[in-house]
Structure 1
Amino acid sequence: MKVLVIGGGGREHTLAWKFAQSPTVDKVYAAPGNVGMMKVAECINLEETDHEGLIAFAKETQVDITVVGPEAPLLEGIVNDFQEAGLTVFGPEQEAALIEGSKSFAKSFMYRHAIPTGSYVVTSDYDEAVRHLEQDGVPIVIKADGLAAGKGVTVAFTKEEALASLEAILKDDKFGEAGAQVVLEQYLEGEELSLMAFVHQETVIPMVAAQDHKRAFDGDEGPNTGGMGAYSPVPQFSQTDIN
């Protein structure tokens, strides 16, 4: 079997590494990949946003399945494009990817479907955001609505920190269009658990649980990142909790 992994980050490196270990996989391609991935895959000079080029490559090399890692091409509808071209592809379609691509959409989705989540407000106006901050106080969670490479969230424990975050997002355009609006969210205290699952229609197959650590510096200090590391299993949660 031939596999094409789209992307060039740590996530895609791990996917390519695991595919290369499978006895059912004969060839792994990565587009664009990175220098480290060259040890486990043939890296192709195609950007993850080049849908037409990637589709043409998958057809030409008779790739059996394409796996999309990054959020950006998923939001741009790369899975839809591959499906329309008659190719087998793993990843959410554009409509489903919006849950990751817009925090306000995800929050409204959870509210509509009675999925427990913290209270929140959404605004694109700095003064309105400040009024909500004055009303709700700190700690508070401030999020750029769109994709910001994992760096768009501030857990503010002081008013000064919250104001600086709002100013950076709404006034200084720190995240561009991704920060056109912000989500101000209730601060929830407790242990974090990441539990993902493979989903197809009504079939749900859970993966192992993990705990992600996003702070840039030792001791859980500093700004959030896309992730400094994670571990699994998570001893703070029993299998009963996870089930």
Structure 2
Amino acid sequence: MAARVLIIGSGGREHTLAWKLAQSHHVKQVLVAPGNAGTACSEKISNTAISISDHTALAQFCKEKKIEFVVVGPEAPLAAGIVGNLRSAGVQCFGPTAEAAQLESSKRFAKEFMDRHGIPTAQWKAFTKPEEACSFIL
């Protein structure tokens, strides 16, 4: 049985994912939310206007459209917890949880993680006042 897939995003990465998934005989249809002009140029790929910020409505959309799984590209929806929320609603989703996405979405979290685990990284410090930041770099 061929699957319907939803890709979240509108950039080149999502365009490439949609293009490659559409080549599979295991995939019947690829929907991209919100997509872009390029993702609307294929027989098996179409853009959809569903809001990606309303996770409850998105989960319902996936169930109504019989989406087999969702692939999330951009960092913002990952950081907003879309993967965990969709999984909790019974929708299969490929992407890191909000907690794991912090490595990409929060530079401070990533630097603290690297320090904690002995991963080499450039010297850094977090600041709340611009004057302190200037003193640090000058």
Common fold, TM-score beyond 0.5?
A: yes
Pairwise mapping of residues 92-131 of structure 1 onto structure 2 (< 5 A)? 92-131=96-135
Task: Please name the residue that 1:53 is paired with.
Answer: 57
Higher relative contact order (CA 8 A, sep 6+): 2
Larger radius of gyration: 1
- Determine whether 1:18 maps to 2:25: no
Deviation >3 Å, runs of 4+: none
More strand per residue: 1
- Size of the alignment, in residue pairs? 134
Give ranges in structure 2 of 5+ residues lacking alignment: none
Aligned-residue CA RMSD (Å): 1.0
Pairwise mapping of residues 126-141 of structure 1 onto structure 2 (< 5 A)? 126-134=130-138
Q: Percent identity?
A: 48
Amino acid at match of 2:107: K
CA distance in 2, matches of 1:66, 1:133: 43
1:99-126: CA deviations, max 9, x gaps?
Answer: 1111011000011011121221111211
CA distance in 2, matches of 1:64, 1:3: 6
Q: Choose which of 32, 35, 39 in structure 2 pairs with 1:33.
A: 35
1:206-231: CA deviations, max 9, x gaps?
Answer: xxxxxxxxxxxxxxxxxxxxxxxxxx
CA distance in 1, matches of 2:11, 2:63: 24
Give ranges in structure 1 of 5+ residues lacking alignment: 135-243
Tell me the SS of whatever aligns to 1:123.
coil
More helix per residue: 2
1:177-232: CA deviations, max 9, x gaps?
Answer: xxxxxxxxxxxxxxxxxxxxxxxxxxxxxxxxxxxxxxxxxxxxxxxxxxxxxxxx
